């Protein structure tokens, strides 16, 4: 029986080539894009779940600070994890990971690499997490404090095909590390990404030499702590116990509160389970579902609309004995066949689109057909859409009353015209929402790019000077002679994304219990003028000796601590104290998603390791070459790497830019698929109304009358869609904009543009069919009746 | 075999009933060949459809091969007609997407015959109607007479006891019509198939054993030939 169904289905496909092609193209595009997005979503959800014990591993984070400055810190103090393991039976193991910024270059024979993906870690790193050691001793990954475990591809990079075990890598030309193990490369969906792991014990020894004892230090919050817990541990009770341990050692930190974030969540959530990417994943999931629904609607619409043309066949089958269930199966098989074809084409399409999609989304997804996850997504998507598209038409078609259908009495009520209209409106609601989304996102990104940052970042590149900094004056003089170099200054860190923060603050008039966290930056005397920053009060640094006891606040800082007449008052942050000599106007040193934070600027020539060079733009390459030559002169083999402030600034919005370009494509695809459906429906309507059109023409209607008559019905639906989509899109995009501290307001023209675009595209689609029907010779059409 | 008692079919239009069939009673014995005649709108087709269980009467009693049809549920009724009744239409109503072979085979599929059985039965039928050479053609490639032949073959394939034909020759020229009528006569005589046909043609009606004349939903006259 199935064979018979398939045969009929196939003949139907071939016979109605136009509709089959519309259906297959729409479904193929919808399935391919839908599945691609779902791959992306699945990848996001899969982060850090590959660890065997993922369910029981948590990252220890904490709340710190009071009032407005209270925030979550992902890193903790060094001793807390170790103490927890010693004292609490529910803590099975602990891993501490510290960022390794002690070395800038690594050498093996003549190969030198700069590498910033180096970490200090406890040996338990390799037993708690599932990063398998492929050579070396898994039970003892580090032989001694001077061991290093490297990844496979790092081993390849340094040693080629030689056995890496026992080889010596020299860090910064002074410290030897012997390779004691090789670990497989970290999976793409791991939040932790390192090339080399050095023992935490080395770090502790290294810091002891600088008279900092990390094993009893509750001030330095720069170590990630992961705890492996016994299954069923109460997180609430545990965080209370951790607080007690902390307080016992450092009684001042009464505002600390520990949080335990499951590692499977750390990619998408903050420790308090607020958004860290989950919203975007949800948005994409919704977009994928919308696109799939749009594709399904096409199929449902076309197959129900065309059911009228099949009523005779169906009635006949009933009369010669087909049961309803048999007919139902026949239509399910028909839909399934079409889906099968589309699915195969979609898989081929995905294969070719994958590199493009990866480039757009910044991911490295692999279309690996041996991975069961891939099949899960594909099978679920296809069966879901198949189910959604097949049932209604199958029920509708199999429930014809045969006699009426045979007599052609069924035309008006079949396939419920209203229902089809609702579906078309739904499609366009989705499409218009996506268009509005695209417009809003693009405008917001343009707004960010063009917004006055409060400083001039044009044509400026920057790099850490290292030893070159000791000869700054000579370097400066030399560089200023170069063609293309306009100006030079320096500070202790890059102006974009300043990250020095202190909560140890004091000032004249501080209220008891008031806490205040401030960004710190040390700058050269000409820094403010270099960046064309404006003073709101007082003056800048002059380079005089006593400037080291002076400081400058930004407006945000003055406002937050409520300082009146700040100039001349005393202020202290960390161990830097001094008199306020000026207030600089606010400028954006972080992403526009954040409000401008308070900042304090010191003049401290020995801390100024970061150089900024402004060029003419045209001669930038010459300036870079000159800077590189000087850098090599003082730093020897250290790799030279510079960043343009513009690029670094754009990096802050890389995520949004990817969203924006992806949205562009999604919106285009959604409206494309919707229009395909519209094309099919318009063609069908023209076909059904051929006789009516013929009569109208005989009575004197012109081509334009007929075209407008046919188009109006559809354009009306798009208009309704605009009305429905507007408030929904407005709400959704307001939500999205809320992430930005500085944002555009949503304007009515955005909806107008989206609506007009939808109408124009829909009209072009329909009018093609409408005109074709309108110019047909009425004598011919009427005769064929 | 078939007994209709006081069968009526009406539509409610405003406050009045519009009768299509008005209190018809009819007995049909196995082996009869009945021709139903009457002007347009006299209710011929409706009567045929009621007999064929495609349409339901508004009132009356309907018995068929010992079953009380008016009391049966949809499923039982359709099982009954699947088993005992074959239909032939004026416009043939073949399924355009299926070949001659497949058109004839389809009723068997719906009655769950095994593939090998179906093959034998269809081959037999093609042979009997001398259309073996046409078995792979589609309806559009056949003449009207040939299409009706296929329609009859399809109606007969499952071995019905009663063949209902609604103006089977209406779309055919006289020669083709005559051939179809000869075939009906043969089926009736040799195979014992009971036939009820609706026709406009006096000549075709005379192939039957009884002629019933309808007028305005009533039996006006009935004569045994």
Interface predicted TM-score (ipTM)? 0.81
The whole-number pLDDT of residue A412 equals: 46
Q: Name chain B contacts of A322, Cβ cutoff 8 Å.
A: 106, 110
Strand partners, B5: B61
For chain A, the helix, strand and coil percentages under 3-state DSSP, each to the nearest 5: 55, 15, 30
Chain A: nearest CA to B88, how far in angstroms?
A: 10
Strand partners, A572: A506, A577
Distance of CA B120 to the CA centre of its chain: 24
Contacts of A169 (CB under 8 A, 6+ apart): A106, A107, A108, A148, A150, A158, A176, A177, A178, A179, A196
Between CA A411 and CA A431 the distance in angstroms is 30
Chain A residue with CA closest to B95: the answer is: A313
Determine whether the interchain pair B107/A4 forms a contact, defined as Cβ–Cβ distance below 8 Å.
no
DSSP state of A530: H
* Chains A–B, number of C-beta pairs less than 8 Å apart: 49
Between CA B45 and CA B52 the distance in angstroms is 10
Q: Which of A1, A12, A321 has its CB closest to that of B82?
A: A321
Q: pLDDT tens digits for A85-109?
A: 999 999 999 999 988 878 878 889 8
Q: Which of B49, B55, B93 has its CB closest to that of A312?
A: B93
- pLDDT value at A785 more than 50: no
- pLDDT value at A763 more than 90: no
Higher-scoring residue by pLDDT: A700, B225: B225
Chain A: nearest CA to B86, how far in angstroms?
A: 7
* Test mutation, A5, A312, A319, A408, chain B, max B CBs within 10 A: A319
Helix A278-305 and helix A417-450, axial crossing angle in degrees, nearest 10: 150
Q: Which of A320, A326, A406 has its CB closest to that of B154?
A: A320
Closest CA to A554 of A524, A590, A584, A582: A584
The whole-number pLDDT of residue B13 equals: 83
What average pLDDT does this structure show over A580-609?
84
A110: exposed, middle or buried (Cβ count in 10 Å: 0-12, 13-18, 19+) = exposed
What average pLDDT does this structure show over A3-8?
83
Determine whether the interchain pair B106/A15 forms a contact, defined as Cβ–Cβ distance below 8 Å.
no
Determine whether the interchain pair B110/A406 forms a contact, defined as Cβ–Cβ distance below 8 Å.
no
- A749, containing H or E segment: helix A748-775
- pLDDT value at A8 more than 50: yes
What average pLDDT does this structure show over A700-708?
80
Determine whether the interchain pair B111/A321 forms a contact, defined as Cβ–Cβ distance below 8 Å.
yes
Q: At B118, is the pLDDT very low, low, confident or very high (cuts 50, 70, 90)?
A: very high
Q: At A593, is the pLDDT very low, low, confident or very high (cuts 50, 70, 90)?
A: confident
Determine whether the interchain pair B109/A8 forms a contact, defined as Cβ–Cβ distance below 8 Å.
no
Closest CA to B165 of B215, B207, B222: B207
The pTM score is: 0.81
Chain A residue with CA closest to B78: the answer is: A321
* Test mutation, B9, B50, B74, B97, chain A, max A CBs within 10 A: B97
Sheet with A485-491: list strands edge to edge. A485-491, A610-615, A460-464, A643-644
Q: Name chain A contacts of B54, Cβ cutoff 8 Å.
A: 319, 402-403
Determine whether the interchain pair A313/B78 forms a contact, defined as Cβ–Cβ distance below 8 Å.
no
The whole-number pLDDT of residue A69 equals: 63
Q: At A402, is the pLDDT very low, low, confident or very high (cuts 50, 70, 90)?
A: confident
CB A536 within 8 A of CB A687: no
Tell me the percentage of chain A whose pLDDT exceeds 90: 33
Higher-scoring residue by pLDDT: B59, A302: B59
Q: Which of B49, B89, B95 has its CB closest to that of A317?
A: B95
The whole-number pLDDT of residue A264 equals: 94
Q: Name chain B contacts of A321, Cβ cutoff 8 Å.
A: 78, 82, 107, 110-111, 158
Chain B residue with CA closest to A314: the answer is: B95
Q: What are phi and psi of A645, to 5 degrees?
A: -60, -35
CB A61 within 8 A of CB A243: no
């Amino acid at each position: 029986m199935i064979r018979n169904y398939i045969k009929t289905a196939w003949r139907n496909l071939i016979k109605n080539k136009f509709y089959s092609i519309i259906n297959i193209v729409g479904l193929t595009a919808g399935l391919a894009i839908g599945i691609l997005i779902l791959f992306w979503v699945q990848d996001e959800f899969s982060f850090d779940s590959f660890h065997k014990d993922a369910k029981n591993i948590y990252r220890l984070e904490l709340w710190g600070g009071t009032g407005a400055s209270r925030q979550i810190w992902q890193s903790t103090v060094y001793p807390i994890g170790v103490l927890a393991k010693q004292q609490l039976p529910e803590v099975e193991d602990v891993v501490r990971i510290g960022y390794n910024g002690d070395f800038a270059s690594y050498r093996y024979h003549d190969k030198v690499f700069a590498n910033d993906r180096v970490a200090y870690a406890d040996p338990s790193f390799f037993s708690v997490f599932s990063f398998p050691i492929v050579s070396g001793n898994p039970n003892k990954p580090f032989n001694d404090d001077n061991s290093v475990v490297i990844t496979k591809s790092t081993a390849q990079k340094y040693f080629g095909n030689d056995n890496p075990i026992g080889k010596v890598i020299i860090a910064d030309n002074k410290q030897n590390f012997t390779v004691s193990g090789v670990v497989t490369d970290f999976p793409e969906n791991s939040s932790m990404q390192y090339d080399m792991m050095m023992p935490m014990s080395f770090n502790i020894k290294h810091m002891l030499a600088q008279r900092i004892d990390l094993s009893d230090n509750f001030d330095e919050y720069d170590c990630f702590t992961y705890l492996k817990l016994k299954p069923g541990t109460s997180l609430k009770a545990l965080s209370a116990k951790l607080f007690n341990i902390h307080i016992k050692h450092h009684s001042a930190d009464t505002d600390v509160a520990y949080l335990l974030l499951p590692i499977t969540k750390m990619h998408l959530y903050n420790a308090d389970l607020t958004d860290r990417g989950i919203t975007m994943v949800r948005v994409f999931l919704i977009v994928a579902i919308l696109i799939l629904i749009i594709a399904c609607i096409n199929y449902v619409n076309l197959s129900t609309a065309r059911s009228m043309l099949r009523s005779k066949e169906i009635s006949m089958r009933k009369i010669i004995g087909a049961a309803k269930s048999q007919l139902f199966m026949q239509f399910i098989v028909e839909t399934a066949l079409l889906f099968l074809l589309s699915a195969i084409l979609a898989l081929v399409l995905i294969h070719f689109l994958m590199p493009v999609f990866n480039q757009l989304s910044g991911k490295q997804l692999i279309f690996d057909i041996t991975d069961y996850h891939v099949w899960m997504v594909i099978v679920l998507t296809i069966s879901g859409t198949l189910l959604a598209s097949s049932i209604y038409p199958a029920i509708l078609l199999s429930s014809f009353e045969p006699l009426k259908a045979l007599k052609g009495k069924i035309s008006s009520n079949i396939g419920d015209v209203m229902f089809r209209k609702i579906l078309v409106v739904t499609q366009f609601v989705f499409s218009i929402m996506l268009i509005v989304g695209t417009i809003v996102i693009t405008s917001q990104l343009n707004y960010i790019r063009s917004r006055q940052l409060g400083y001039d970042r044009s044509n400026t590149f920057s790099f850490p000077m290292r030893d070159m900094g000791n000869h700054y004056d000579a370097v400066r003089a030399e560089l200023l002679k170069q063609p293309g170099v306009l100006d030079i200054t320096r500070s202790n860190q890059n102006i974009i994304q300043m990250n020095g923060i202190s909560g140890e603050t004091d000032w004249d008039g501080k209220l008891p219990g008031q806490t205040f966290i401030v960004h710190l930056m040390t700058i050269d005397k000409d820094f403010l003028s270099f960046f064309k920053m404006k003073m709101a009060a007082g003056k800048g640094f002059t380079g005089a000796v006593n400037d080291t006891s002076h400081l400058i606040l930004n407006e945000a800082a003055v406002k937050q601590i409520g300082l009146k007449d700040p100039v001349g008052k005393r202020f202290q942050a960390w161990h830097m104290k001094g008199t306020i000599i000026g207030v600089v106007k606010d400028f954006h040193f972080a992403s526009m998603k954040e409000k401008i934070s308070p900042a304090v600027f010191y003049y401290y020539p020995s801390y100024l390791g970061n150089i900024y060079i402004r060029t003419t733009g045209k001669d930038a390459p010459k300036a870079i070459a000159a800077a590189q030559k000087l850098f090599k002169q003082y730093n020897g083999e250290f790799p030279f790497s510079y960043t343009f402030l513009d690029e670094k600034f754009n990096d802050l919005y890389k995520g949004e830019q990817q969203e924006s370009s992806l949205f562009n494509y999604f919106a285009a695809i959604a409206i494309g698929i919707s229009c395909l459906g519209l094309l099919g429906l318009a063609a069908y309507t023209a076909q059904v109304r051929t006789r009516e059109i013929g009569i109208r023409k005989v009575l004197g209607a012109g081509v334009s009358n007929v075209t407008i008559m046919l188009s109006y019905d559809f354009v009306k639906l798009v208009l309704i869609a605009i009305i429905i989509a507007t408030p929904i899109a407005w709400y959704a995009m307001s939500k999205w904009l809320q992430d930005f501290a500085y944002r555009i307001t949503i304007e009515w023209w955005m909806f107008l543009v989206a609506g007009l675009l939808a109408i124009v595209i829909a009209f072009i689609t329909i009018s093609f069919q409408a005109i074709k029907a309108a110019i047909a010779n009425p004598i011919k059409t009427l005769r064929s009746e | 075999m078939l007994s209709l008692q006081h069968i009526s079919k009406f539509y409610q239009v405003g406050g009045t009933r519009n009768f299509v069939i008005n209190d018809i009673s009819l007995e049909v014995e196995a082996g009869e060949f009945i021709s139903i005649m009457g002007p347009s709108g006299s209710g011929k087709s409706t009567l045929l459809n009621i007999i064929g269980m495609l349409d339901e009467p508004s009132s009356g009693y309907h018995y068929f091969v010992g079953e009380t049809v008016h009391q049966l549920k949809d499923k039982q009724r359709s099982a009954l007609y699947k088993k005992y009744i074959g239909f032939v239409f004026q416009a043939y109503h073949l399924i355009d997407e299926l070949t001659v072979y497949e058109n004839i085979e389809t009723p068997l599929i719906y009655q769950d015959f095994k593939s090998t059985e179906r093959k034998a039965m269809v081959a037999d039928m093609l042979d009997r109607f001398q259309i073996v050479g046409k078995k792979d053609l589609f309806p559009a490639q056949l003449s009207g007479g040939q299409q009706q032949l296929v329609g009859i073959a399809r109606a007969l394939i499952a071995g019905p006891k009663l063949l209902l034909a609604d103006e089977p020759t209406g779309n055919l020229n006289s020669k083709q019509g005559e051939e179809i009528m000869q075939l009906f006569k043969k089926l009736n005589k040799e195979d014992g198939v009971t036939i009820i046909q609706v026709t406009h043609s006096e000549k075709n009606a005379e192939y039957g054993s009884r002629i019933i004349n309808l007028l305005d939903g009533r039996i006006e006259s009935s004569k045994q030939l």
